[in-house]
Amino acid sequence: MPAGRHVGVLLLLTCTATAVGQEVMNNDFHPTAAQVNEIQQSCDLAEAGMVALRDKVNAVVSDWNKATAGARPAVALKRLGEAFDGLRNDGRLSGRKSIYLLCVEKALRQFVDTTRAQPEPVAGSGNSSTLQLSDFRTEEEIWSAGCRQAEDDAASKLQARCGDRTLVVVNSQCAQSFGSVRTYTAEVQGECRDK
């Protein structure tokens, strides 16, 4: 294998390992400026014009972050590829700089995939409708019905926060209530997970 290709393969492997091992700071799949710089450093090479190329990459990623805020990951990744195609089509890139761009793009893609694969913890409360004790045969029956309604209400609110991910309820607490007219409250903890 020629030396240039060997260096390119090593760069790809290095940036891939770095991207996968990065600590995720939040549940948004967009990398921060510091994370983009870390990715670029892992792919870096010593060649004239790299400062200008790194600045262009930073600008492209910043524009991509803004343009895809709120977008689904698949759409965002498609736009990321289009943004990097614009840099690659510059025509003035050496073979090593092209490998550098490929390394950065691949690491960013892995960052998105890794971040989205992690469950996002969510918590919230929900309430039942007003229930009359006289409509139920036992304390257990009203408590069960009230808590089920309150948990469903909380889960509905949390699912809205999960967006296109699926809510998985991890824990739910609903205390007994007393009196002839009752409203139950449930505290629910869950995780937003990919389907």
- Taking only the tens of pLDDT, the chain with its 195 residues reads 454 444 443 344 344 333 333 333 334 678 888 888 888 888 888 888 788 888 888 898 888 888 888 777 778 888 888 888 888 887 678 888 888 889 999 998 888 888 777 788 999 999 999 999 999 999 999 999 999 999 999 999 999 988 878 999 999 999 999 999 999 999 999 998 876
The verdict on 86 and 147 lying in the same domain is: no
Total number of domains in the chain:
2
Question: What pLDDT is recorded for position 91?
Answer: 65
The verdict on 150 and 184 lying in the same domain is: yes
Q: Is the dihedral angle over the CA atoms 16, 19, 66, 194 positive or is it negative?
A: positive
The verdict on 105 and 28 lying in the same domain is: yes
Identify whether the C-beta of residue 179 lies closer than 8 Å to the C-beta of residue 165. no
Identify whether the C-beta of residue 114 lies closer than 8 Å to the C-beta of residue 24. yes
Residue 171: give the domain boundaries: 120-193
**Which CATH number goes with the domain that contains 131?**
3.30.1660
The verdict on 56 and 93 lying in the same domain is: yes
Question: What pLDDT is recorded for position 165?
Answer: 81
CA–CA separation, 167 and 75 (whole Å): 22
Residues 6+ apart with CB under 8 A from 126: 149, 150, 151, 152, 153, 154, 155, 156, 157, 185, 186, 188
Question: What pLDDT is recorded for position 191?
Answer: 92
The verdict on 86 and 98 lying in the same domain is: yes
The verdict on 21 and 104 lying in the same domain is: yes
The verdict on 185 and 110 lying in the same domain is: no
Question: What pLDDT is recorded for position 15?
Answer: 43
Identify whether the C-beta of residue 22 lies closer than 8 Å to the C-beta of residue 111. yes
Question: What pLDDT is recorded for position 28?
Answer: 67
